[in-house]
Amino acid sequence: MDTGFLSFLAEPWFVIPWNAIGLLGAAWVLYDVYFVNKQVNGAVKWAWPIIVFFFSIIGLALYWWTMPPAKHRGRGRRKRKEAAPRIRQRAF
């Protein structure tokens, strides 16, 4: 099995920016889970910065996709709950 096409993964032009983005992303995730997304449980608060550090841009994308801020969570559900009383009033 030839893995020559993956040789760029060991080059400094790739490794240094990848790790720098991972380090900055992990710092941002730490801030986010401790000051913004406070409802995140303890184990996940420690796991996400590690994931983001090692997976860099991919880890940040996963974090943003799976851990939205509380103000964005359940938006559709909230609209349905607000609309439910109006629908019941019209029905009866």
pTM: 0.69
25 three-state secondary structure: helix
State phi, psi for 2 to the nearest 5 degrees: -90, 120
Residue 18 pLDDT exceeds 90: yes
pLDDT digit string, tens, across residues 36-53: 888 888 898 999 999 999
User: Residue 63: what residue type?
Assistant: Y
Residue 76 pLDDT exceeds 60: no
